[in-house]
Amino acid sequence: MKSIAIFGGSFDPPHFGHQRVIDEALKSLDIEKVILIPTFLNPFKSTSFLDSSLRLELCKSFFKNVEISTYEVDQKRSVTSYESVLHFKSLGYENIYLIIGADNLEKLSTWASYDKLKELVNFVVATRDNLPIDSKYIKLNVDAKISSTQEREKMQDMQTRISKITEVLDMNKAEAIETFDLKDKDYFVDQVVIASSLGSRHTIALLDHLKRGLKPEETFLYIDESSDWIVVDLGDILIHVMTPEFRSKYDLETFLGELSSQRED
């Protein structure tokens, strides 16, 4: 029997809490894979902070060990969970787990076609803020904090590392270099560096310069590479190198600037 877990949501923005849900689902459930489905627009909301195309690109760059589905974004409208489940049923997946957050339980019965939906899936509930979860649901324990030692292993000299990254980019003619401090902002990483290339060939060339200039001190955990947008994941730092056209289109720095300026409650 082909078994999957579906994890849908706005991911507005994606962050490390979502990755913990994915990791725990893969560890705890008897499934082939987790399929993450960014919404075009949450059925319970009238708007989203980030455009659906940007949220989709961020999910593709950030999330590991998961399949990213464009199904809901491709519909260019709000799509219910019931519709998405029927879509994956039509692809031959017989056993489907539907992952939701504990904060969704109170309104779960009001979801579109809920009575039909509950006959098609096994609900999996990710813990959140110590909210109660009925024993009839499968529970994912994801509240555990990441070790402060792990968090800070590579941050003892963060400013030096950021300076080195910007130096390599600047020396090789990257333009409009910006850095964003996102520590304690519930974001996927602690620091983000954004730079513009002079064009597609220069984008690829800057990746080569980063590899030569930062290794072996930095570990490149993941690289998403195209001629228009390079994303380098250093664990606690993300580097985005984009052509001017892509940078203007996605305007990622506006979102990151607002996020970095948010005050803690």
Tens digits of per-residue pLDDT, 230-244?
Answer: 999 888 899 999 999
Complete edge-to-edge strand list for the sheet that includes strand 33-38: 67-68, 33-38, 3-9, 95-101, 121-126, 138-140
pLDDT (tens digit per residue) in 197-230: 999 999 999 999 999 999 999 989 888 888 999 9
pLDDT (tens digit per residue) in 75-111: 999 999 999 999 999 999 999 999 998 988 999 999 9
> Burial level of 115, CB count in 10 A (0-12/13-18/19+)?
exposed
pLDDT reading at 148 higher than 50: no
Encoding tokens for residue 98?
A: 């539907």
Q: What is the pTM of this model?
A: 0.61
Contact of 183 with 190, CB cutoff 8 Å: yes
Domain boundaries, the chain: 3-140, 150-261
pLDDT at 143: 65
Contact of 67 with 91, CB cutoff 8 Å: no
CATH classification for the domain delimited by 150-261, as one of 3.10.580.10, 3.30.460.10, 3.40.640.10, 3.90.230.10: 3.30.460.10
Encoding tokens for residue 201?
A: 């060939």
CATH classification for the domain delimited by 3-140, as one of 3.50.50.60, 3.40.50.620, 3.30.70.100, 3.20.20.70: 3.40.50.620
The mean predicted confidence, pLDDT, of the chain is 88
